[in-house]
Amino acid sequence: QQQVKQSPQSLIVQKGGISIINCAYENTAFDYFPWYQQFPGKGPALLIAIRPDVSEKKEGRFTISFNKSAKQFSLHIMDSQPGDSATYFCAASMTGANNLFFGTGTRLTVIP
């Protein structure tokens, strides 16, 4: 059973637009929700993360929105740029656990 479900699988956005990627989870014990960005030929790199005690976290153009009651969280990329074209993975974990449960990834393409 997949612990974290991610959508859409792929996304095409115009430069300057907003990219939105959604994730949902079932395990209420999860208390750490990171987003990873992966460029071709590279490993995933931590982009931004949130804990469930806040509903939103913003770092530059990247914002995580978190809805604890709905068990959903999303990544918003404002003013999307061609350099943001990459695959984005959401993940979830719980304190003290070794596992990070990843979504299936979203391939984002930002067209000039």
Partner 1 sequence: ETGVTQTPRHLVMGMTNKKSLKCEQHLGHNAMYWYKQSAKKPLELMFVYSLEERVENNSVPSRFSPECPNSSHLFLHLHTLQPEDSALYLCASSRVWESYNEQFFGPGTRLTVL
Residue of the chain from 93, 106, 108, 110 that contacts partner 1 (CB under 8 A): 93
Give, as ranges, the residues between 19 and 48 that touch partner 1 (CB under 8 A).
Answer: 32, 34, 36, 41-46
Identify which of 17, 26, 11, 14 has the alpha carbon closest to the alpha carbon of residue 88.
Answer: 11
Smallest gap from Cβ 79 to partner 1, in A, equals: 26
Residue of the chain from 102, 106, 108, 110 that contacts partner 1 (CB under 8 A): 102
Residue of the chain from 53, 70, 83, 98 that contacts partner 1 (CB under 8 A): 98
Q: Which pair of tokens denotes residue 36? A: 């990873």
Q: What is the DSSP letter of 82?
A: G
Smallest gap from Cβ 101 to partner 1, in A, equals: 7
83 vs 112: CA distance, rounded Å? 10
Provide Rg for the chain, Cα atoms.
13
Q: Which pair of tokens denotes residue 52? A: 């469930």
Neighbour tally for 66: CB within 10 Å: 18
Window contacting partner 1 (CB under 8 A); options: 21-29, 56-64, 65-73, 91-99? 91-99
Q: Which pair of tokens denotes residue 34? A: 């990171």
Which residues contact partner 1 by CB under 8 A? 2, 4, 9, 32, 34, 36, 41-46, 49, 51, 89, 93, 95, 97-105
